[in-house]
Amino acid sequence: MRRFRGAARSTVNSMNRKLILGILGIALLVVILPRYFGRGTKPEVTVLAIGRENLSAMIASNGKVEPLEPQIFRAPFDGFVSRVLAVEGRAVKRGELLLEMETAETAAALARAKEELVTAEETLRAARAGGPAAEVAQLERDVRANAAELVRLRGEQQALARLLAKQAATQDELDQKKLELERAEAQARLLQQKKEDLARRVRLDQERAGLLVERAQNEVRSLEEKLRQARPTASAAGTLYALPVRAGDFVHAGAVLAEVADLSRVRVRAFVDEPELGALEPGQQIEITWDAAPGHIWNGRTESVPRAVVSRGTRSVGEVICSVDNSKRELMPNTNVNVLIRVRERQNVVVVPRGAVRVEGNRRVVFVLEGTRLRQREIRVGIASATKFEVLEGLKEGEQVALPEEVILRDGLEVSAIPPK
């Protein structure tokens, strides 16, 4: 009997729980169903009156700050930094020495190059003088002696010929004189050949010596320039914004030693995605923000638009050069910044929130409140900002559009309009 009474009480409790849950479920349906299906209570929908505003179309991108006229000093050769005289972040004067590299090996190479230059210049002078002095003098003596010998022999030959006609000389004597004259003429031709050979050799020597002198001069200039670059000095006043080396560091040729610039004059290289390049023009206003200085805005303008697209990571971008006012020298070179470019502006135009516009294929539609019902209407839009569209056709100032929230909007839906929260 006791077991039977316990089972009966358990059954009653179970029935009570089911009854309570059923009542709660019915109450919930009574509250919710009219809200969403219009049975008894119209669904509440937030509506917003259309107005006029000044609208700006913006392109948001990223960029990098660059000095306008940087002085970048690089290591002219592999070597050690012996002294660092300047301090990073400090202003430097024109002509101020920033650091020094060890130059003993380069100075020795310069001394050797100067000796080679002297030797090459002496060779060139000798070549321009017509050849080695002793050889030229001997050849000239031989030519003069040969010319005199030819004059003598020709005179004697003519005299013998006259004597032979008078039978005062023999034919053998005349033949002997002819033979001597032929040998002298052959010697003259040989000397002429020597002169021509010497002239050709002198021309070649001049060319070779000239090349040697030019090469030695270039080597001297190069080494002198390297010695100068090993002691970099500021060519204009500015800020030493980069000094990556310390005394005792070993650097390779081409490594950056220091960077100086007037930081009141900087530019920003903005990286704009390819689909947005068509809207860019020179002279458009820009706003620069830097994560390291929240709340601060730098103003500027676009200077040049890209003529080519380049790859930057996974993006295809055009590089837009922008001028920026940095008179307080707050933007530092090589920092990454955020860029907003105002590509178009419209004054006093009808605007609609982006959230109220639905895209259906190539159409853009909104739900306009007419009385207590929503009516779907196609609109045509112009420029767009991050939050709003310019309305060209389809809406008038003062009309009310529905904002999509919990209620599924449809044409003809009867609603209870509420203002935005």
Q: Which of 29-38, 179-188, 256-265, 358-367 has the lowest mean pLDDT?
A: 29-38
- pLDDT tens for residues 390-420? 999 999 999 999 998 888 999 999 999 999 8
| b/e per residue 50-70 (b: at least 16 CB within 10 A) | beeeebbbbbebbbbbbbeeb
Is 336 a residue whose pLDDT tops 60?
yes
What confidence tier does 196 reach under pLDDT thresholds 50, 70, 90? confident
Is 30 a residue whose pLDDT tops 60?
no
Strand order in the sheet with 250-251: 99-101, 79-84, 250-251
Average pLDDT over residues 350-357: 93
Q: Which of 68-82, 165-179, 361-375 has the lowest mean pLDDT?
A: 165-179
- The single-letter DSSP state of residue 279 is G
- pLDDT tens for residues 357-383? 998 888 999 999 999 999 999 999 988
Q: For all residues of the chain together, what is the average pLDDT?
A: 87
Is 34 a residue whose pLDDT tops 60?
no
What confidence tier does 345 reach under pLDDT thresholds 50, 70, 90? confident
pTM of the model: 0.55
Whole-angstrom distance, CA of residue 156 vs CA of residue 180: 11
110: Cβ contacts below 8 Å, ≥ 6 apart: 220, 223, 224, 227
- Token readout for 298 is 């730098």
Average pLDDT over residues 308-335: 91
Q: Give pairs for 377-381: CB < 8 Å, separation 24+.
A: 379/352, 381/352, 381/357
Residue 149 confidence (pLDDT)? 87
